[in-house]
Chain A
Amino acid sequence: MGKPNDLVQGTLDLLILKILSLEPRHGWAIAKRIQQVSKDTLQVQQGSLYPALYRLEHQGWVKTEWQESVTGRKAKFYSLTRAGKKRLETELENWDRLSSGINLIVRLT
């Protein structure tokens, strides 16, 4: 959609998996967490967040459960499955390789 904070294609999955590996969260909290940790650099639009979450669930990497949130309302919490944890590892490796590769190029003098 051409928004300034659009994430590199495919990295959203990695971010979600990483956030969820720390503890289960609902969608809103995931978006907030990504924003906080990145110090507002990364803002996940819900228009990309929910399709991504559903896709991850569809692929069996995250599972969901309705639980009470801090405010006392029922919310849908996402957590990693075993396959999701494995997936996170491979995604992290990929990311390391990719980012070091990109770094090598952009720091070229």
Chain B
Amino acid sequence: MRTIDRLRSWIRSVVYRRRVDRELDAELRFHLDEQIAECLAEGMTLTDARAAAQRTFGSVTFTKEAARESLGLRLFDELAQDLRHTFRSLRKNPALAAVAIVTLALGIGANTAIFTVLDGVMFKPLPLPRADELVTFYENGPEGSADPSGGTGRFLRFSYPRFERLEQALGSSGTMAAATRSSQFAVRVPQDDRPHFVRAQLVSNRFFETMAVAPAQGRLLTADDVRGEQAVAVVSDGFWRRILNGSSNVVGRSLTVNGLPVTIVGVGAPGFVGMWTDAEAELWLPVTLQRSLHYANNSSSYGPADNTASWLGQDAVAWLTLVARIPAAHRAQAVPLLQAVNHAGVVALADTFTTPSARDTMLAHTLVVEPFSRGFSTLRSRFSDALLLLTLLVSLVLLVTCANIANLLLARAAGQARELGTRISLGASRARIIRQHLTESFALAMAGGAAGWVAGRWASALLVRQVLATGGPLPAVFTTDSRVLEFTIGASLLTAVVFGLAPALRAAQMGRMTVLGTNQRPIETATRLMRSLVIGQLAFSIFLVFAALLLGRTLLNIMRIDPGFARDHFVYASFDPITSGYPPADMPALSRRLLTALEGLPGVNSVSVSRCGLIAGCASSSGFRLEGTAEGGKTLYENWVTPAYFATTGIPLVAGRTFDEGDHETAAAVAIINRTVADRYFAGQSPIGRRLGFSQLDTEIVGVVGDARTQTLHEEPVPMVYFPIGQKKVALGNAALTNLDVRVSGDAAQAVGAIRDAIRKSEPALLVNEVAVMEQRIERDLSRERVVAYLAFSFGALTLLLASLGLYGVLSYGVMRRTAEIGVRMALGAQRGQVVRWVLGESARLMAVGSAAGLIATALGARYLSGLLFGVTPLDSISLMAVMITFAVVMTLASYLPARRAVRIDPIRALRQE
């Protein structure tokens, strides 16, 4: 209570400072007047009475100050004084202020930007009430595991019947919902002529209840909508603003989603973007519409699946991600029950398997409950190492920045030692001197922090765009919100202490020593501290530059990887025929029409169509039986291609033949395998003529092609089997053709427009996502390496600059304070060479100690690098040597100016100065 009273009194005193002053004045005048009146009553004259009263009264100012101190105002008064002093002293020294604020803005801005991305990817909770109650589920199997952070992989997907049983088992302990991964749907708004590609989720009836989202307009999906297969949709706030132009009465309006007319029943609360924080959903539809919406993405099948029927009744098709809200009190009791029910489902599914090994694998699956408060992030697993490394690097940048400013402040304090001494003699306390210096540091840090906040906001948007390889609107999770602001303010305060405390303490110490008449010692202590700071700067910047070099080499090494296909003169187009309304049976005909439309174009050497494109994030795999190998399924990646596929992509034929026009529907089924399959399963023998298949070995291997990195440049080639599009023996099912590859003779970038036009002319109804050069996909694939390398490079360059500034500062300061000594020496006949050697010798000593410390820092930091390097070891000696030489050169350059200044010292003037 009393603390609050005191605080209130203090705030009142501060806020109504003027009034408090006036009252105090009036009160003291009253007292004085009463005293005068008393003296008058005793018979004095007015003049005498006044004088006597004044005498008794003593110093009014002193009383006032003491009274103000009682009110806790003294601190405030002094703070105001300190701030005024700060402004005066910074105005007197604008170069110091500018350097400090600019470097702090860079340091804090870089930290703000990295923190924004780090927080968005790793830590920020979903913007939902009680997000810590949310959990998701995945299965742990002996054959692999899910990526529970990114929400990918088949172990995170469940069939609809399994979901229903789990939901029932959960009962009243919580709520559970199933949802598909947010994937692109084509949405047509009646008055717009072009479709919008929008991420949508198919969801079960309690989805919004589980997420605890309220409608902003209309209503959300109900059990009746879902059970009744109602063609209704809920749109996001963003969808409503961006696509429906924020118009009123959108409830009841209709949209065409993947060819199906649906009615909007509501708009979700602002900020709700579904389960993936960086792949924001904008549209939610009942899960029962799967078949009507031609949804066939992100699924895996544990056995024979019928893609012509709805997936809802099929236990073998796993396609739904589960999320549940279970209050912590119920979790311990609910989880074992869910695990038991899931196991029953696993057993039932395993019973349908024919091979014992597959059955055993399936039976080993167990249900795992994973916290879901942060939602899924497609970036989390891919970028977590990179972000942690960048956090380390960017903190070092800030430390080096702090060291720089500390050095500037120290040098200035040393120059002011006499002034400080005078102030201490006049009664300034040590605490007061320290406080005044810290006030200045905080003012600098706050100015730098404010500029850093602006820079950081801008930089984080840039960074997120690079990370996501998108030019579109940024996911809300990366907005610079109050969490980021708190971080920036915290970082600024911390830097103020880090760079300000030592100089402040030293300033007080130097002032005191000056009072005691020891003129040299304070300067010595300041110099010693400055030297250690420069050594620290050198050490950290050596590590940063080294890291930058290794990460840059990693990027180059990955870019130089031979992907197994020819990447230049290569244009691709990606499209979505199923969503566009093409029946699956039409795929071979569609591919023929596309080939005809493009083959005649000038400059086009060869064209092919395939199920999946290269480096396109499209993959499909199954367990195949291979003739002449051990029993049991071999997991092979599949692709369906037109005959010219290998010629177009440049994947070389190694043995046998490629597909040709003769491999049509009625001809014998054929397949081509890649070298990895041949080496792994047919080692030493020719696979040509062998057969493969699912239940029957009905498809003949006619060729072997080279390995290609079809998924990502980061991974070794996967075992691949190719089938001709023309043959339907191997079920293509719902799986659509999504890719077209073109090899051109001229500049690929210039061919893009003509190719896009030709596709549109031939297939006006086909939704084309992208037509671009292959390098674009490769660039996207390398976004992590590029971002990390570029950032590390900028950080390295910045710290190199700061470290050389630091060295320059220390050397200049040394020359300046020994001006007299140098003057005397030169007057006594010292050669210029000796003076230069003295400055360079000082520089070399610092460099030597700094390099040694840098080696230690590098050895300690290298392990944070190892996971992100490719083709170069974390302690690569050539790189280390290159860094050391760079530093030696840059630091010698930094020493040049101070050395020149030293030799130009005029002995006469130097002595006179003293």
Contact = CB atoms under 8 A, between A and B. Distances in A.
Interface of A: 26-28, 31, 45-48, 50-55, 57-60, 69, 71, 73-76, 83
A76 B31 CA distance: 10
Contacts of A59: 2, 5-6
Contacts, number: 76
Contact of A47 (B9, B58, B72): B58
Contacts of B599: none
A46 B28 contact: yes
A27 B67 CA distance: 13
A54 B10 CA distance: 11
B416 interface: no
Given A47-B58, A50-B63, A50-B66, A76 B6 contact: no
B277 to A, nearest CB: 49
Interface in B749-800: none
B419 interface: no
B72 A58 contact: yes
B87 interface: no
The winner among A28, A45, A48 for most chain B CB atoms within 10 A is A28
B59 interface: yes
A55 B6 contact: no
A51 B69 contact: yes
State the main secondary structure of chain B at its contact with A. helix
B617 to A, nearest CB: 67
A51 B67 CA distance: 4
A54 B2 contact: no
A38 B108 CA distance: 65
19 contacts: A26-B27, A26-B30, A27-B27, A27-B31, A31-B31, A45-B58, A47-B58, A51-B69, A53-B70, A54-B68, A54-B71, A57-B71, A58-B72, A59-B6, A60-B1, A60-B9, A69-B30, A75-B30, A76-B23
Nearest to A81: B5
A106 B303 CA distance: 103
Contacts of A55: 70-71
B76 interface: no
A79 B619 CA distance: 84
B27 A75 contact: yes
B70 A51 contact: yes
A54 B23 contact: no
B21 interface: no
Contacts of B10: 58
B63 A57 contact: no
A27 to B, nearest CB: 5
A45 B621 CA distance: 95
Given A47-B62, A74-B30, 13 more contacts: A26-B27, A26-B30, A31-B31, A46-B57, A50-B63, A51-B69, A54-B68, A54-B71, A55-B70, A55-B71, A58-B72, A71-B37, A75-B30
A54 B5 contact: no
Contacts of A45: 58
B31 A58 contact: no
A83 B9 CA distance: 15
Q: Nearest 8 A-B pairs (CB), nearest first?
A: A60-B5, A54-B70, A55-B70, A51-B66, A28-B34, A54-B67, A51-B70, A50-B67
B13 to A, nearest CB: 8
Interface string B18-41: 000001101110110111010000
A69 B377 CA distance: 74
Contact of B70 (A52, A73, A76): A52
A70 to B, nearest CB: 10
Interface in B54-97: 57-59, 62-63, 66-72
A26 B197 CA distance: 79
Contacts of B30: 26-28, 69, 73-76
A28 B23 CA distance: 15
The winner among A48, A52, A75 for most chain B CB atoms within 10 A is A75
A75 B23 CA distance: 10
Contacts of B2: 59-60, 83
Contacts of B9: 57-58, 60
Contacts of B28: 46, 50
A46 B70 contact: no
Contacts of B34: 28, 71
Given A28-B34, A58-B70, A83-B2, A46 B23 contact: no
B24 to A, nearest CB: 8
A32 to B, nearest CB: 8
B66 A60 contact: no
Contacts of A76: 23, 26-27, 30
The winner among A50, A54, A55 for most chain B CB atoms within 10 A is A54
B1 to A, nearest CB: 8
Nearest to A75: B30
A69 B69 CA distance: 27
A50 B31 CA distance: 10
B630 to A, nearest CB: 87
A79 B58 CA distance: 26
A51 to B, nearest CB: 4
B584 to A, nearest CB: 81
